Structure 1
Amino acid sequence: MSSGAKQLTRVGSEATPGVIASTWETFAFTANGLDAKATTTESQTIKDTRIAAGTLVTGIEVQGDLESEFAYGTQDDLLEGVAFNQWVNNVLTFGGTTRKTFSVVRGFKDIDNYQVFTGCHFNQWTLSIPDSGIVTSKYSIMGMKRTAYEVAPTGTVTPAVDAPVLTSLSTGDILIDGQKKAGMCVTQLDLTIDNSMQIQKCLDYENNISAILETIMKGTGSFTIAWSKNTAELYEKQFLNEPISLEYSLKDSAGNKYTLSLPKLQLSAPLPSGKAGDILTTQFSFTVADEAPTLTLIPKVGP
């Protein structure tokens, strides 16, 4: 039997896609669903009985979600994998062309079982800010191979960083077209970056998954906002196909800050609906168009 408290997750950057990492960072997580799944095909062989011949393993898929509470500076390496770019002067631009892959360890320490996934690509990243609660970060991973070990892979291991977790109270001004307008109170906000990755399989029993290739980068999300005169004007933009810009920040208790900038979004939203005792809100869905989103690091300056 195994205890949930004795799980571990380690992530290491790979020098070559699919080749196991040699340095590892312990990742603080809330859920790790990364797994391998065998795809099977039923045999149609007819023998001297009516009993079915069974199935054969004809492929293996490696994928799953890695979820965490979001904190400043703890996931910057992973975000490079999502963005296909490197941080430049504390700015990360999504939708680049620089591939970064990872090895991921799922460890069950009390039973000496370590599942190692190599060639992991971060296909999607979702950042969610609730109306009252903890900001969460979810990575959807696609990998190339899984191997089981009785001991954890060797190499330099860095412990998990103990950083203040961001919450709904960490959110600063939410700017629409560069302004914070009266009555436009946002109560929920989420963003998903999707690299639309595809698996390339080959007839090679050692490396059945030979590559994972990115296609179009898509950005989607939503925000819930109080209904007001200014919100009604925002509602009208969807019928004119008129885009907006959106910018918002998250600052931790130590004074460090992230700023997310979405320069061009297209909107859709319904009219609000509610009872006499309700505060009216509506949820705007958005898609990123033409211009790349950016994430900026703003470290605390001074004591």
Structure 2
Amino acid sequence: MSSGIAQGVRKQLRYAKQAGLGAIAATTGGSILRRTQSTLDLNKTSYQATEIRSDYQVADFRLGTRSVAGDISGELSPGTYADLIAGVLRSPFAAGVTTGAQTTIAASAVAPHFTRTAGSFLADGFKVGDVIRASGFTHASNNNTNFMLVDVEDEAMTVVQLNGPVGIATEVSGGNVTLAVAGKKAIIPSSGFADTYFTFEHWFSDIAQSEVFTDCKVSQLDLSLPATGMSTIKAAVMGLNMQTGQAAYFTAPAPETTSGILAAVNGVVLSGGKPAGIVTGATLTVNGTLTTGAVVGSNVMPDVFDGTIKVSGQITAYFQDAKLRDQFVNETESSLSFAMTTSNAPNADFLAFTLPRIKVSSAKKDDGEKGLSLTIPFTALKNIAGGAGTASDATTVSFQDSLA
């Protein structure tokens, strides 16, 4: 016989996007979201009387404005958190660019690895940090393999392979070859921002209790990429209200995704378009600086207000040479690209992100009877030199998800 106490393994986190502010998501169309923890909860401001009384006691205490806050934590996997990532970026994921089938594309075992004699990779929209896959080559090893772009020109692209050394076989043009950005990408746009609200539900099936959190936005994302162990994500959420019930709100939600969990040991890290040395860890924070505000006559706030999107992070790496240190010493701007895969397969599912313009704020070294490490915190800035016809996006950060 059950103890009647709610258990975490029987709790489900469910969610769906809303049509807009004040429009709770429909009961159909929800999804179960994978998690290691979800701490969403209703909060209320409180007020205690401050009057000075002859009986020396407090005579009143009131509860005020309602709000929702908490974190959704999980182990990072392709496709699983795409909606939350897009929410904080204020832009949806969109299909990656492609050359379309071309007879003028050739492959080479040495850089540049892909060339063409007609058309333009830059005009097509390929960017440094994009992960691409090819199809249509005669050599099977050239097809359906994850390659990250490290250099893009009109008629040439240089790549690194996500899992292992580049294994491209030289092949002349002539076949119907297609190069395409795998999956979908999302960036912080320069205009046309999406205002994405979510409805989240905690369903406690063992005690038949539902808590539904409405008008929620993702206020911050924190990614952690350790050298050992699983990569993790934490999404901070802010919302306006909660409703309760004794039956699940979302009926027949889609099951959890089944994609593999990402580990930073499988993948690539580039600094300035080149391998970033021996990196031992990395973190990334995307902070939407959201705010709320109380009003007279209602115990529910009117909205969750957007702020400037601020992106920062940190990498740690073994101290091998002056490259990373001197980015700080000389205040040299650089770029960072990360890609993590779910396995060692050539076409493994992945999540990648690129920061086309960063500045390093320090370069501290540790000490001891071990390999010495550098700690490199950085701030990402909008890449005002990027955009159409260039090799980088006009944004602060871009994400690419093979299963978005």
Give the TM-score taking structure 1 as reference length. 0.90
Q: Which residue of structure 2 lines up, in the alignment, with residue 269 of structure 1?
A: 362
Q: Determine which of 47, 57, 61 is the counterpart of 1:41.
A: 47
Distance 1:136 1:180 in 2: 23
Q: In the alignment, is residue 173 of structure 1 matched against residue 268 of structure 2?
A: yes
Structure 2 residue corresponding to 1:226, chosen from 318, 327, 338: 318
1:32-87 Cα shifts (integer Å, max 9, x gaps): 11112221111235667443113111222311100011111112122221110011
Q: Spell out, residue by residue over 1:5-52, the C-alpha distance to the aligned partner (whole angstroms, 9 max, x if none).
A: 111100111012232211210011101111122211112356674431
Aligned partner of 1:296 in structure 2 is: 400
1:251-290, aligned counterparts within 5 Å? 251-253=341-343, 255-275=348-368, 277-290=369-382
CA distance in 2, matches of 1:126, 1:118: 22
Please give the alpha-carbon distance, in whole angstroms, between the structure 2 residues aligned to 1:185 and 1:42.
55
* Corresponding position of 1:101: 197
Where in structure 2 are the equivalents of 1:148-227 lying within 5 Å?
A: 148-170=244-266, 172-180=267-275, 184-205=277-298, 208-227=300-319
**Which one is further off, 137-146 or 93-102?**
93-102
What is the alpha-carbon root mean square deviation over aligned residues? 1.8
Cα separation, partners in 2 of 1:14 and 1:222, compared to 1, 3 Å: same
Deviations 1:224-246 (A, max 9, x none): 001012xx232122233221100
Pairwise CA distance, 1:204 = 3.6
Q: Which residue does 2:222 correspond to in 1? A: 126
Give the corresponding residue for 2:338: 248
Alpha-carbon contact 2:77-2:351 (below 8 Å) kept: no
Q: Measured at CA, do residues 58 and 33 of structure 1 come closer, stay the same or move farther in structure 2, by a change above 3 Å?
A: same
More deviation, 113-122/71-80:
71-80
- Mapping of 1:60-75 within 5 angstroms? 60-75=66-81
**Is there any run of 5+ residues in structure 2 with no aligned partner, and where?**
96-183, 384-395
More strand by share: 1
Residue 163 of structure 1 and its aligned partner are, at CA, apart by 1.6
**Matched AA of 1:202:** V
CA distance in 2, matches of 1:76, 1:270: 32
Which secondary structure does the structure 2 equivalent of 1:174 belong to? strand
Aligned 8 A contact 2:262 2:350 in 1:
no
Deviations 1:248-290 (A, max 9, x none): 1111136112221100011023442312x21000110011112
CA-to-aligned-CA distance 1:175-223 (integer Å, 9 cap, x gap): 1100116xx20010111100111113222426x2111111111001101
The one-letter amino acid paired with 1:213 is F
CA drift at 1:110:
1.0
Query: CA separation of 1:149/1:278 partners in 2, compared to 1, >3 Å: closer, same or farther?
Result: same
Contiguous gaps of at least 5 residues in structure 1: none
Q: SS where residue 200 of structure 1 aligns? A: coil
Quick one: distance in 2 between partners of 1:102 and 1:271? 40
Calculate the TM-score normalised by the size of structure 2. 0.69
CA distance in 1, matches of 2:202, 2:297: 26
Percent identity of the aligned residues? 22
Work out the number of aligned pairs and report it: 292
CA distance in 2, matches of 1:6, 1:106: 10
Work out the CA distance in 1 between the residues paired with 2:86 and 2:58. Answer: 49
